Structure 1
Amino acid sequence: MGGVVVVAPQTGNIGFLARLQDSPTRWIVYGIITGLASGLVAVLFLFALELAGQLTFGLLAQLPQPSPPGDAIVHLEGVGEGEPRRWLFFLLPVVGGLLSGLVVYRFAPEAEGHGTDEVLRAFHQRRGVIRARVPLVKGIATIFTLAGGGSAGKEGPIMQIGAGIGSFLATRLGLSARDRRILLLAGAAGGLGAIFRAPLGSALTAIEVLYREDFESDALIPCVISSVTAYVLFILLVGGQRIFAVPQLPLLTPLEVPGYLLLAGVAVPVGWGYIRLFYATRDRIFRKLPLPRPLRPMLGGLGVGLIGLQFPQAYGAGWGYIQQALDGQLLIQTMAWVVLAKIVATSLTIGSGGSGGVFGPTLFIGGMLGGVIGYGGELIAPALFPHPSAYVLVGMASFFAGVASAPIGAMLMVTEMTGGYTLLPPLMLVSVVSIVLMRRFSIYENQVQDRFHSPAHIADLTINVLEEMKVADVFQPTSDVPTVTPATGFEALRGLILTSREATVPVVDPNGRLVGLLTAEQLRPVMDEHQLDRFVVAGDICAPPFSLQRDDDLYRAHELFRASGCPQIPVMEEGVGGNPPCIIGMLDYRDMMRAYGRELARRREN
């Protein structure tokens, strides 16, 4: 039932809200409702997370982790007053990983890993649908992960939780797929706006992180309304203190520019290594382990525990240590080692299937990297690095901008979180350099290049471009198309599929008429079933026939590809002298999309 959208009966208040669909003010109302729901959930989530962390690290292990001023909302008696239990401190990530894995893979496997990427997947590939149970499962699993010391962030999960709320509301209201996607982003913006206390930057991040080179501009107004609403509700319930306490910083001077450029130059290779190690850990280690998936986060937690014995800063979200870096309380060599430790610990936690986010760890790594440059530069050339704490903040935003291809939202979020608006010039400088040099890489694998590469906007590209392009412009005519008859046996089909360059084989009757299509994808699951050789023939298993003409437009071709599931479709030409139409070539889906990309590039240049 994960991908099925159920439209509830429109009665009572739900019916009233649904009737707003044709009203120009509907996004104001929907945005406010989504913001209230996501803001309230963000308050509960942060409170539960802080309480769980105080219980595990503060009372059980007696080794409390620091929190930044704006997140220190829970205070328990007896925290840190007893004898430290380092053995328990080491085992906490193992237990947290085990509990998280059991919850996720039992109730909602899509809640594994980092939440932001799942939001992108839901937007681009699932028509904005997130199962109703996912927000609850994601919240519980993330609490287990972070309260156990897993190296992850709370920001990605709250983004997924808020997006799930928006998707649920849209489904209940019976909204279209387009509107459900917009409400999904509005929920994500609301969750971020509350947890970061940064409404404008969160709204822009929600519409920016979908693409490497574009924005989802249609969702801007609902995202701003939802984010501001959630932010207001959060500060009413929790308070308006900013997350970090930051000293007043003066405007940028020309002497400081080389230092910030140095930060950008260091951030790029570190970001590239971070992305490579993150996915290598997931794909080459944990996905190949002969271990049940629910147990893999426990193994990742074991690695995090070993790292934490030497570098406790790698545990959890670690934002309290960012405050210490801002205050100049961390040694330069400590921050340098913590950058590496955090990269490895995050790769182990999320790569093993633990539930959390990479949003927060990415900001943490950037902050520590900025601290190394800022405080290290102050020792060598104090005149060029007069305000080393500023490098911590600039490093946070610029590093995230580089690895996530989302510079504008990150810059505004950091300035809102800290009140450091005088940092905008160096933030822009370092972020632009980072994103230009890292444009081809992203920590989010479901991020696409722009709207035209998203299935969510397939209607836009087909109407505007594909209808104007013809099959004759793309396919290569040939008289050498391999075919089979309905009586061709399974053994011959297997041999043809294995030796042919084509992924689709037309089935033609003795009179030359196209009667069906066979694909390698159809045969692959039973390719080794040799008992089928004696009694299965092509006519038994072929799919219905689909074909195109030279003068058909590529929009029709795209619809046939979608309906048939075939990677190639025959192109037919009318026969001569009463003969049936004959096959003159095959149109390949990949060739069609490459031609579409070239046409888009040509139009952009013009």
Structure 2
Amino acid sequence: MVRRLAGIRGALERNKTLRYVVYSGVVGVVSGLGACLFFVLLEWGKYFFLEYLAGYPLSKPGGEQLVALERSPVFRRWMLLVLPAFGGLLTGFLVHRYAPEAEGHGTDALIDAFHNKNGIIRTRVPYIKGLASIITLSTGGSAGREGPIAQIGAGFGSWVARLLRMNVRERRLMLLAGCAAGLGAIFRAPLGGALTAIEVLYREDFETEGIILCIMSSVIANAIFISIFGQRPIFDIPPIHFANPVELLFYAGLGLVCVPFGFTYVKVFYGMRDYFFRRLPLKKALVPTVGGLMVGLIAYWRPEVMSGGYGTIQKALMGTLPVSLMLSLAVLKIFATAFTISSGGSGGVFGPSLFIGAMLGGAVGQISCGLFPQWVGNSGAFALVGMGAFFGGVAKAPIGALLMVCEMTGGYGLVVPLMFASVIAVLCSQGWSLYEKQVLNKFHSPAHRTDMVLNVLENVKVRDVYDPTLPVTSLPQDMTLRELKRFMVHTRESFFPVVDDRFHLKGILSLQDVRSVLFEDSVAELLVVGELASPPVSVRPDISLYEALMKFLSSGYGQIPVEERDLGVVGMLRLEELMHAYHQEIQRLRED
């Protein structure tokens, strides 16, 4: 069994395309199932605490009607004061006792793990983060599910990468694949989830190397999620489209309105953390309780700010909320989110950003419709555009936000105003970001330090270095141990490729592999070379010396067989030859 698994891993190592398909499939399945479990527990948790215990008539978006039970007929408003504090108490104990890195909104932890921690997220973090976020959102904490599901999916990806003993580069990519899978599943936005995962790392760049893995894992996770919960978009929208170019002026105004609110959102969010919650003379585990109590005071007056607020967003998209209410909710949501997450509660900032953007967009849309009915058609369209523009501006991820909003609403007819308003919001919001761990571009990321150094080995191929005329001493895989001992008397070699009858590589045998059984005469006729050999490691003539160097470093060998698909083993590449070629290339570049 072990040899079979080693053989499968060897085949994956030799075929990059197959490796990406298999690895992304594994991450997509695990993250997709994790997203399904998270969604079910969250919906039932919200029903139990907010509808059954408090009796609050929680409104829901059109595409999320999982729990159809009746709420309690008695609305106990006083419970809205204590439920967020109770959730903060549970979350504070759980997080600070078992996984302190699971506090906060999660996406920053993902970004930090990519840039600074070699793609490593502790195995327990996805479970603690998921449970803590469910408690926070179910008890009315003002947060979203993007941060938790991103960190949960990324944690699964990191775990799979460590389980399969991938290198640091691939582990980082698996981290992103897990994030994309979680986002693509729970928001039913496979393309938006994939692009957000590679866009949110930087303010002015993309992690393009991960796009294939992210798309494949996101599609697989989304397919699993919609097969269980249906493929209806999260939000229902009226028949809206963009047809009048004059409306772009009003959408530009919406983009500008998002800028000061975005600035306030970021400054309040981190200001409350740095200048209030971190200075409280309390144990860190108790601080989320204080934040929950502050949320409860707002919720007692305006319960709409509790949890994700998707039902209220749905009403804004339908144009049924008054302007004064939407403006007040936008301001209150900023403070409620800061009280929840900045105090150490667990949840995301994507959902609150959508809420604030929808409220601002709905207000701008209704005012524009009232003043200029001949030019502006539907206020719900402005609510939809506001969702993408506000998050794009504060997160510096306009493309991912645009696509996710379109997929969550089905509002593809508003792509043009979405692009226009988002770009304006981003251009006017360059001085701040909702994600502290974001870096400007790849050259500012520790994950890409080696990219700044000229990699001369990329320009030299294996075929240019190894000597195909030198004989290769290979061993047939069915050679017995006794025959091997006789053979070794007549050779000075200590490292042999093990091949089949067509000279295709089946393993690597060194003296160190057989030292323990070399003088065991009782098994000399029973053991064959193929059973003693280590898993095969080879290079192709057409790959670069940089890829070959990675094989040397990962295997620890001093020489590696050169193998062609049809001819089998055709030569040996020695580490000394590679280093000599490196020095020659450096000398040539200096002379040029």
Taking structure 1 as the reference length, the TM-score comes to 0.73
Match of 1:166 in 2: 157
Residues 257 and 458 of structure 1: CA distance in aligned 2, closer, same or farther (over 3 Å): same
Match of 1:280 in 2: 271
Q: d(CA) in 2 for partners of 1:402 and 1:96?
A: 30
Question: Where do 4+ consecutive residues of structure 1 move more than 2 Å?
Answer: 9-19, 462-465
Match of 2:71 in 1: 79
Q: d(CA) in 1 for partners of 2:179 and 2:47?
A: 27
Match of 1:323 in 2: 314
Secondary structure of 1:393 counterpart: helix
Q: d(CA) in 2 for partners of 1:189 and 1:202?
A: 5
Tell me, yes or no, if structure 1 residue 460 matches structure 2 residue 445.
no
Match of 2:25 in 1: 32
Tell me, yes or no, if structure 1 residue 98 matches structure 2 residue 89.
yes
Match of 2:63 in 1: 70
| TM superposition shift of 1:246 | 1.1
CA contact (8 A) 2:139 2:307 kept: yes
| TM superposition shift of 1:19 | 4.7
Within-5 A mapping of 1:429-578? 429-463=420-454
- What does the per-residue CA deviation read over 1:406-458, in whole Å, with 9 as the maximum and x for residues that have no partner? 01111111111111111010011001111111122110000000001001111
Secondary structure of 1:243 counterpart: coil
Q: d(CA) in 1 for partners of 2:5 and 2:221?
A: 21
| TM superposition shift of 1:75 | 2.2
Task: Point out the more displaced range, 10-19 or 411-420.
Answer: 10-19
| TM superposition shift of 1:252 | 3.3
Residues 309 and 389 of structure 1: CA distance in aligned 2, closer, same or farther (over 3 Å): same
Residues 298 and 242 of structure 1: CA distance in aligned 2, closer, same or farther (over 3 Å): same
CA contact (8 A) 1:252 1:426 kept: no
Q: d(CA) in 2 for partners of 1:283 and 1:105?
A: 18
Return the match for 2:14 from 22, 25, 29. 22
Tell me, yes or no, if structure 1 residue 118 matches structure 2 residue 120.
no
- What does the per-residue CA deviation read over 1:206-247, in whole Å, with 9 as the maximum and x for residues that have no partner? 000000011001100000000000111111111111100112
Return the match for 2:397 from 402, 406, 416. 406
CA contact (8 A) 1:252 1:423 kept: no
Secondary structure of 1:399 counterpart: helix
CA contact (8 A) 1:252 1:425 kept: no
| TM superposition shift of 1:64 | 3.3
Larger radius of gyration: 2
Residues 10 and 422 of structure 1: CA distance in aligned 2, closer, same or farther (over 3 Å): farther
Q: d(CA) in 2 for partners of 1:376 and 1:75?
A: 36
Q: d(CA) in 1 for partners of 2:77 and 2:415?
A: 42
| TM superposition shift of 1:249 | 1.4
Q: d(CA) in 1 for partners of 2:455 and 2:267?
A: 37
| TM superposition shift of 1:273 | 1.1
CA contact (8 A) 2:78 2:300 kept: no
Tell me which amino acid in the other structure corresponds to 2:256: G
- What does the per-residue CA deviation read over 1:234-266, in whole Å, with 9 as the maximum and x for residues that have no partner? 111111111001122122312211110110111
Match of 2:124 in 1: 133
| TM superposition shift of 1:17 | 4.7
Within-5 A mapping of 1:209-228? 209-228=200-219
- What does the per-residue CA deviation read over 1:478-537, in whole Å, with 9 as the maximum and x for residues that have no partner? xxxxxxxxxxxxxxxxxxxxxxxxxxxxxxxxxxxxxxxxxxxxxxxxxxxxxxxxxxxx
Tell me, yes or no, if structure 1 residue 89 matches structure 2 residue 77.
no
Match of 2:282 in 1: 291
Residues 258 and 20 of structure 1: CA distance in aligned 2, closer, same or farther (over 3 Å): same
CA contact (8 A) 2:201 2:438 kept: yes
Secondary structure of 2:122 counterpart: coil
Match of 1:530 in 2: none
Secondary structure of 2:63 counterpart: helix
Tell me, yes or no, if structure 1 residue 422 matches structure 2 residue 413.
yes
- What does the per-residue CA deviation read over 1:318-337, in whole Å, with 9 as the maximum and x for residues that have no partner? 01110011122211100000
Match of 2:530 in 1: none
- What does the per-residue CA deviation read over 1:345-368, in whole Å, with 9 as the maximum and x for residues that have no partner? 001101000000111111111111
Match of 1:581 in 2: none
Q: d(CA) in 1 for partners of 2:37 and 2:28?
A: 14
Return the match for 2:257 from 254, 266, 270. 266
Return the match for 2:356 from 355, 360, 365. 365
Return the match for 1:53 from 41, 46, 53. 46
Match of 2:485 in 1: none
Residues 75 and 110 of structure 1: CA distance in aligned 2, closer, same or farther (over 3 Å): same
Match of 1:244 in 2: 235
CA contact (8 A) 2:90 2:135 kept: yes
Residues 85 and 225 of structure 1: CA distance in aligned 2, closer, same or farther (over 3 Å): same
Secondary structure of 1:152 counterpart: coil
Q: d(CA) in 2 for partners of 1:241 and 1:432?
A: 28
Secondary structure of 1:86 counterpart: coil
Residues 353 and 15 of structure 1: CA distance in aligned 2, closer, same or farther (over 3 Å): farther
Instruction: Show structure 1 runs of 5+ residues with no match.
Output: 1-8, 466-606
Tell me which amino acid in the other structure corresponds to 2:311: G
Secondary structure of 2:201 counterpart: coil
| TM superposition shift of 1:71 | 2.0
Task: Point out the more displaced range, 33-42 or 20-29.
Answer: 20-29
Q: d(CA) in 2 for partners of 1:11 and 1:142?
A: 41
Match of 1:561 in 2: none
Match of 2:293 in 1: 302
Q: d(CA) in 2 for partners of 1:266 and 1:367?
A: 12
| TM superposition shift of 1:464 | 6.6
Identity between Structure 1 and Structure 2 (%): 50
Residues 109 and 400 of structure 1: CA distance in aligned 2, closer, same or farther (over 3 Å): same
Secondary structure of 1:113 counterpart: coil
Match of 1:234 in 2: 225
CA contact (8 A) 1:18 1:174 kept: no
Match of 1:185 in 2: 176
Secondary structure of 1:416 counterpart: helix
Q: d(CA) in 2 for partners of 1:321 and 1:92?
A: 20
Tell me which amino acid in the other structure corresponds to 2:152: I
| TM superposition shift of 1:11 | 6.9
Instruction: Show structure 2 runs of 5+ residues with no match.
Output: 457-592
Tell me which amino acid in the other structure corresponds to 2:227: L
- What does the per-residue CA deviation read over 1:243-299, in whole Å, with 9 as the maximum and x for residues that have no partner? 001122122312211110110111111111111111000001011111100100000
| TM superposition shift of 1:130 | 0.3
CA contact (8 A) 1:14 1:173 kept: no
Match of 2:37 in 1: 44
Q: d(CA) in 2 for partners of 1:347 and 1:23?
A: 47
Q: d(CA) in 1 for partners of 2:111 and 2:7?
A: 29
Taking structure 2 as the reference length, the TM-score comes to 0.75
CA contact (8 A) 2:244 2:375 kept: no
Q: d(CA) in 1 for partners of 2:270 and 2:420?
A: 28
Secondary structure of 2:94 counterpart: helix
| TM superposition shift of 1:70 | 1.8
Q: How many residues align?
A: 455
CA contact (8 A) 1:18 1:175 kept: no
CA contact (8 A) 1:100 1:355 kept: yes
| TM superposition shift of 1:89 | 1.9
Tell me which amino acid in the other structure corresponds to 1:16: I
